[in-house]
Amino acid sequence: MIALTLAEIADAVGGALHLDGSDAAPETSVGGAVTTDSREVEPGGLFFAKRGEFDDGHRFAPAAVERGAALLVVEHALDLPVAQVVVADTVDALGALATEVVRRVRALGRMRVVGVTGSNGKTTTKNLLRTILEAEGPTVASRKSFNNEVGGPITMLEVTEETEFLVAEMGASGVGEIARLVRMARPDVGIVLKVGLAHAGEFGGIEQTVRAKSEMVTDLLPTDVAVLNADDPRVAPMAALTAARVVFFGLGDDADVRATDLVVHARGTEFTIAAGEASARVRFGVLGEHHVANALAASAAALQLGVSLDHIAAALETVTLAEHGRMEVLGGRDDITIINDAYNASPDSMAAALKTLAQVRRPEARTFAVLGEMSELGEFSGEEHDRIGLLAVRLGISQLVVVGQGARRLHISAINEGSWDGESAYVESADEAYDLVVSKVRPGDTVLVKSSNAAGLRFLAERLGEWFA
């Protein structure tokens, strides 16, 4: 974080500065890392004592002091020998500080901000943009999937006076949450990737999901740019909701930044990016045709920031993994491939992963799909698990292994569609799935492991990857 005095921080967050028992003064400057996790506190850093559903960050404030915190932001003063700012709500205070820090850095006239949202692909697109922009100048981007009311501002607080690009991933579980993050960061470029059923249960339906995702572009200024998915019928109409200049990406001829001549194989995807009169061939090492849309979105945003298409293509070719646990290729022994895509799952990403599995099948070899529950779908859960079961059969997946009660309906649907001779198997646990796969896989086979993070199947994928390494 940029250096601010204790008085400036208290003013920014609307809090009361308490210095009793500390050696600090209002003019004391601090500028270390900001965190809500006492285990991550660095000497000279700031610790926000956030209350959680099951715990209270104030309990861990002594540990934060022991690790060298220079300032605590708390909801009530603590008997600790360190400077403290007392606020009504530490999460609100975290957002207020991020807003002020981004405002100050932007006032220097150097930093530009990209916001990324969508039901799927946020983290991949953010990572691709970081790779592209890091070659152009100092870049800050969200760590892991830091995209909510806590992770978003913590990312923003990593900017310094030297930062040229901030890439902020923005997620939500309800209406108004993306708007809050947008007001903090004030993006120059806002990307909306896709609106699907991911978290639809939390939002209260697909219409509310659309409304929430559109918050990325509704407050953009005429001087800003909205980057929208031309292929998504829920995203493309957002062009009418923004005052910003609109740039479309997609596979169709009507997209401003589009992909042509796609070739999908087990080593990734090859395609040509076309933007106006310019074009560049990309050998993209990230597995799955669905990641091409993420690459196009990142490319469209980078072009608006002045990066040449040739530089964009060169950067994309250096990426071989979207993120740990996202279409991650493991294994290798006896030409057996394990695809770990169990970091998360929605109906759209599940369907895309199954299609990729069918596309990369080796001649004469078999495909295994080890699938767990897609969570947070609410009233759509049953019918969407049905749909994935039918899709697995229709794609000709050789062996379906369904794990856990939450996904059992997927197995029943596959049987009803024709997988009644053992092509679909149901097991209760990841251990049972492991034993089944190990006993059945033959040289040359490809195994996809896919589920929502809550199902825990990414650990199964890692275990299979180690066994077949």
Instruction: Give the CA distances from residue 14 to residues 173, 303, 449, in Å, rounded to whole numbers and listed in that order.
Output: 27, 39, 48
Where b means 16+ CB within 10 Å and e means fewer, 195-228 reads: bbbbbbbbbeeeeebbbbbbbbbbbbeeebbbbb
- Predicted confidence at residue 377, as pLDDT, reads 85
* CA–CA dist 232, 192 (Å, integer): 10
- Predicted confidence at residue 205, as pLDDT, reads 73
Is 356 marked as a binding-site residue? no
Half-sphere exposure (Cβ direction) of 384: Cα atoms closer than 13 Å: 24
386-422 tens-digit pLDDT: 999 999 999 999 999 999 999 999 999 999 988 777 8
* CA–CA dist 306, 292 (Å, integer): 21
Reduce the DSSP state of residue 304 to 3 states and report it: helix
Structure tokens at 52: 């959680």
Is 120 marked as a binding-site residue? yes
- Predicted confidence at residue 409, as pLDDT, reads 95
- Predicted confidence at residue 284, as pLDDT, reads 95
Collect all residues with Cβ–Cβ distance below 8 Å to 414 and sequence separation of at least 6: 389, 390, 392, 393, 400, 402, 423, 424
- Predicted confidence at residue 204, as pLDDT, reads 63
Is 50 marked as a binding-site residue? no
Instruction: Give the CA distances from residue 165 to residues 87, 111, 299, in Å, rounded to whole numbers and listed in that order.
Output: 30, 5, 15
Is 122 marked as a binding-site residue? yes
The most distant pair of C-alpha atoms in the chain lies apart, rounded to whole Å, by 75
Reduce the DSSP state of residue 247 to 3 states and report it: strand
From the number of C-beta atoms within 10 Å of its C-beta (0-12, 13-18, 19+), residue 91 rates as middle
Whether residue 440 contacts residue 399, with contact meaning beta carbons closer than 8 Å, is answered with yes
Whether residue 317 contacts residue 357, with contact meaning beta carbons closer than 8 Å, is answered with no
- Predicted confidence at residue 152, as pLDDT, reads 95
**Strand segments (E) across 276-398:** 278-284, 328-331, 337-341, 367-371
* CA–CA dist 313, 322 (Å, integer): 16
Sign of the dihedral through C-alpha 315, 317, 322, 325: negative
Whether residue 333 contacts residue 413, with contact meaning beta carbons closer than 8 Å, is answered with no
* CA–CA dist 54, 336 (Å, integer): 42
Is 389 marked as a binding-site residue? no
Q: Could you give all domains of the chain from N- to C-terminal order, each with its CATH number?
A: 4-90 (3.40.1390.10), 108-316 (3.40.1190.10), 328-467 (3.90.190.20)
* CA–CA dist 451, 469 (Å, integer): 22
Sign of the dihedral through C-alpha 408, 413, 416, 419: negative
Is 160 marked as a binding-site residue? no
- Predicted confidence at residue 52, as pLDDT, reads 83
Is 119 marked as a binding-site residue? yes
Structure tokens at 291: 């990641």
Residue numbers in the chain where pLDDT is lower than 70:
197-204
Structure tokens at 236: 């493309």
DSSP 366: -
307-334 tens-digit pLDDT: 999 999 999 999 988 778 888 999 889 9
